Amino acid sequence: MSSSDNNNNKEEVHVLLVAFSAQGHINPLLRLGKSLLNKGLHVSLATTDLLYHRVFKYTTNGGDSSTVPTSITTNGIQVFFFSDGFQTDEERKAGLDNYMEGIAKYGPINLSNIIKNHFLDASKKLACIINNPFVPWVADIAAEFNIPCACFWIQPCALFAIYYSFYNNLNNFPTLADPDMSVKLPGLPLLQTQDLPSFVLPSNPFGTFTKLLSSVFKGMDKLKWVFVNSFYELEKDIIDSMSQVFPIITVGPVVPVSLLGGDENSDVGIEMWKPQDSCMEWLNHKPDSSVIYISFGSLTVLSSEQKESIAEALKKSHHPFLWVIKEENEELPLPKEFLEETKDRGMVIPWCPQTKVLAHPAVACFLTHCGWNSMLEAIIAGKPMIGYPKWTDQPTNAKLITDVFHTGVRLKQDSDGFVSSEEVEKAIQQVLQGPTSEEFKNNAEELKRAGREAVARGGSSDRNIQSFVDEILGNKTIDH
């Protein structure tokens, strides 16, 4: 029995998604919500009013009003806004600990009010609340209202397995006494210290994240489902091994629909930055599989020395390149000589439409910080990668590129994280011209195909989403 058979039911079955206003958190949730919407559920999103000020204010009333509406509807999904307890951006930027504490204090009260005011109607059934790990208190609110809760994990299954093992003391991990201990987990290659997420290392300075992740992984009994933005064919071994401990449900790749062959105008994702399309015309004039695309996301800031090192490697490689560097003081922070010498084959811009760039036939590979959203986009675009990870999940993601997916290489860093121009040049050679380049390209194409199949009708992730929908509609019962 499909979800469409329930359309005649008078009671509306709703799912509420909850996240705070970071683009990398909101977009995967919105896209998961769109899949649920397409299968017959009513879907809403609750997030902090920062999202309204950064995105929706300009599309709903021209940006003239500072008053935040209770909700707006976009692409069939109702978006509710709640206060994070801060009045200004300066207060929000006063420190991560302070910000997370503020959301944890005011979020539960405001989310409870949204539920009371909009979902306790006799004609509605709030069948599930889906949060992500950065708002773990949502599970407690769901329990108060006796609503089943799910978590949407927006990193790979491998990271979920590592954190689950670490916070539940199932394996030994590096300590101050033994900082170089290697870690062996079922379904994963042997992990050295450099391959582990920074939050499990004894040197981890980010107490807020440790506390947050600890509350998630020690509170798994509060969750009925864990969804992951990955697909079975990508992480088969780790998913199979985790099924014995805590089953995880793959629902990805949750990426822009344009990467999956759909119409980009039907995508529900939001942009907090204005991309520049000028590079697309530039790419149209480059040969197929010739351009190196370089981007380190919205948070990573490279030193001038590191930029110069990468610039030197690009200059020597003779390949066309497209480099995204955020503007600093209105100037692009690269040596003028480099820009002058490479102006005929290089383009440096402050932002770009990444999914369009990755999907472009001219792009040969992606030099990336290994953030999971960016990596998934590259996987579904079928592009080999050069990994330059910095912190959090990025080192483990880089390990997946080299030792699990076999779609690229990882740059060797010195003790300060610096990468020499010779190392960058060598990596470019390996990915684009060396004996392994064809293997990387073939593996990338195979994962692209598998990822598209996973979310197509009847694919592994599509079946998982349909099973969840059927369960909360009462069509069948599944034990998780």
CATH topology of domain 3-257+453-472: Rossmann fold (3.40.50)
Largest separation between any pair of C-alpha atoms in the chain: 69
Question: Is residue 17 within 8 Å of 44, Cβ to Cβ?
Answer: yes
Peptide linkage before 253 cis (omega within 30 of 0): yes
Determine the pLDDT at residue 55.
Answer: 76
Kindly report, residue by residue over 124-134, the tens digit of the pLDDT. 999 999 999 88
Q: How long is the chain?
A: 480
DSSP-derived secondary structure letter, 219: -
Question: Is residue 198 within 8 Å of 391, Cβ to Cβ?
Answer: yes
Backbone angles phi, psi at 81, to 5 degrees: -115, 135
For the chain, residues with pLDDT lower than 70 are 1-10, 57-66, 272-276, 327-332, 476-480
Integer Rg of the chain from CA: 23
The C-alpha atoms of residue 229 and residue 429 are separated, in whole angstroms, by 31
The C-alpha atoms of residue 315 and residue 101 are separated, in whole angstroms, by 46
Question: What are the residues whose beta carbons fall under 8 Å from the beta carbon of 242, sequence distance 6 or more?
Answer: 157, 160, 161, 164, 187, 248
Question: Is residue 39 within 8 Å of 69, Cβ to Cβ?
Answer: no
> Tokens 């300009």 appear where?
58
Determine the pLDDT at residue 434.
Answer: 81
CATH topology of domain 271-451: Rossmann fold (3.40.50)
Determine the pLDDT at residue 6.
Answer: 44
Determine the pLDDT at residue 75.
Answer: 87
Kindly report the pTM of this predicted structure.
Answer: 0.92
The C-alpha atoms of residue 469 and residue 113 are separated, in whole angstroms, by 26
Q: Three-class SS of residue 206?
A: coil
| Same fold: 3-257+453-472 with 271-451 | yes
CA atoms within a 13 Å half-sphere pointing along the CA-CB vector of 92: 14
Kindly report, residue by residue over 282-302, the tens digit of the pLDDT. 999 999 999 999 999 877 788
Domain ranges of the chain: 3-257+453-472, 271-451
The C-alpha atoms of residue 295 and residue 293 are separated, in whole angstroms, by 7
